[in-house]
Structure 1
Amino acid sequence: MPDGRCLSVDECARPSLNSCHKDATCIDKVFSAVLGLRGGLTGLPRGLITGKQEGYTCECKPGFADISTDRVNKPGRICQRTSNECSQKQTYGVDCDQNAACVDTPEGFQCVCQPGFADISASVSKLPGRKCVEVVNECTTGKADCSCNADCFDRAEGYECKCRPGFVDASPDTAKYPGRVCNRPKSPEHYGQTSKQPQCRGSEQCGPNEECRFNTKGEMVCQCKRGAVQQADGKCKVFSQCERMNECDRNAICSNTYDGFKCQCKVIDN
């Protein structure tokens, strides 16, 4: 000041004036010194704090370790959490799957699925290790119950059975458990069983609700039209429950079945 007094500036009152870590407490040296003097003086003797000295110090909060590069002269610039949430799971709400390992990190903790387990958590990128399932290939270990006329596909959460071309899925629950019972159609001349000659040349040669089109073997065969379902007697019948009434989500595709309809979520490309 012009009269020779030193003005007390509280750097801790404004974060822009100090370099303390976010997990550290800022302690203003000048302010503390003033409070320590009798009479509550607002000015300090000249030379108590020079221009080269910082008028504050930083102290890491409880539960944080001071790992600053110069802890003697500039403490509290880098504070690292010392609490191990993994050792106190209930206290810190650690929600790792029982088949996941809890790993302590500077920011908190992370869950990592154990070897031999796949991470199928709802949000793997943000919250991994919340749901871990054992990696078992039911298709190669003989645990799958697919029909002998179906192919088995290993999935992250189990497996899927799919009837081979030329077979009709007659499983009791085709929506949830397809490919358990795969039968040959009762009218092979209409439904493209193995043949050296094409089964049809035009849809006019096919039965009601059928159309002539190529199968997976490149043969022209009679198949049920879109919206028609093959019945047990091999005939195609149109069921339009999807058009009249269904409970499918707006992001799902409704498909007519013999006894109603089924919903399947749409595939969205990322």
Structure 2
Amino acid sequence: MVEKGEATLIFLCFCCISVLADPVPTCSSSPCGVNADCTNSPGSFSCVCKPGYTGDGFKCVFIPTCSAFGYKWTKYYDRDDPSYNCDCEDFYDLRSENPGEICSSPTAIQARVKSSKLDYRLTGQVIEAETAAEKGLVCTNANNHNQCLDYEIRFCCDVDECVSSPCDVNADCTNSPGSFSCVCKPGYTGDGFQCDVDECSSSPCDVNADCTNSPGSFSCVCKPGYTGDGFQCVSIPTCSASGYKWTRYFDRDDPSYNCDCEDFYDLTRENPGEICSSPTAIQARVKSSKLDYRLTGQVIEAGTATEKGLVCTNANNHNQCLDYEIRFCCDVDECSSSPCDVNADCTNSPGSFSCVCKPGYTGDGFQCVLIPTCSASGYEWTKYYDRDDPSYNCDCEDFYDLRTENPGEICSSPIAIQARVKSSKLDYRLTGQVIVAGTAAEKGLVCTNANNNNQCLDYEIRFCCDLDLF
């Protein structure tokens, strides 16, 4: 303040102070743990551990899992308070102190502070926590300012499914990691969950039958090729040889008076042309039920078909034979269907037949052609000629060329020709090739390659000539 005369002057000074406020925290600076999600809010932010992790968001640790099939967590154990030296949740001690509760090979452990449930890895304490089979969890006071927290621990163990008796009472249960199995005890059969007395173990069926056990019962079924009720099985007669087949069933006699006599000779005489003289097998059965005669329990005389067929005598069977029918395995007469050429003779034989061309014809019996003749008086065959191999265009055994190339050997007007394959002597008409063969005076024989897949056979030809006309 300055005085000047009576006036007073007052000076006021103002200082402006600039204050820099702290910046508003945001997620852009990645303040959270790597396994946490950050969320901005007005003037702040929050950190939350991601699913599968636990912590305060600034530090997140993986939550141990026990989700494998057949495994589950045990209860939490706290065997030791942090007094004296440590809080020692030792695996081996825990197993000894809790028999039957903890498996020998856990797949995971989970340890936490007993009171707060905080994961041991988030406490900041120095902890020894190895795999379950090594140590469990140990917190030593000396390493933690003489005061460990009180921890509890649990283990991921295979579930012993056998404890709940899942198997049949007649089965043995075997536990295995993540699973179990049930096996029926000796003398029982089934899947282990249901076991039944194995009646098949005593072999109740016929040796030629298959036994199938079922709950409370069993069944016997004759094997393929056998017939019967499974307790008694007999071989089914066969008639499968080539050229053979079964006749129809015959029933010539009812079981009246003395017998049911299906006698072979009587049947042959009474059914002419239907039964062969030497069958290779017989098949006899009860007419009504179709049951094989060997399964009836009756006394039957049944020999080979050529001996007696089948005879059931009433006197041997409480005066009442069943009514039987019989059939025979006979050679098929293939000749009856005329399989041969019309100019061949067919001969039937057991299981087969043969075709032979008639005299004056040649061929395999299925195809026969007339053999040319040269039997007229004064005529005879020339030699065979082969002037051309089947090269280039054809095998051309041309009549005029042959006469020119063989002067004085072939007459001008043959009355017949005979042509054949040179190597096999097969008549040209039986080869299947397309052949031009006219009368000798026209062309002789011509086989064109183009008409025969580019490969004619090599033919030879001869002529029937008058010896006086050369």
- Per the normalisation by structure 1, the TM-score is 0.35
Task: Pick the structure with more strand per residue.
Answer: 2
TM-score normalized by structure 2? 0.23
Max Rg structure: 2
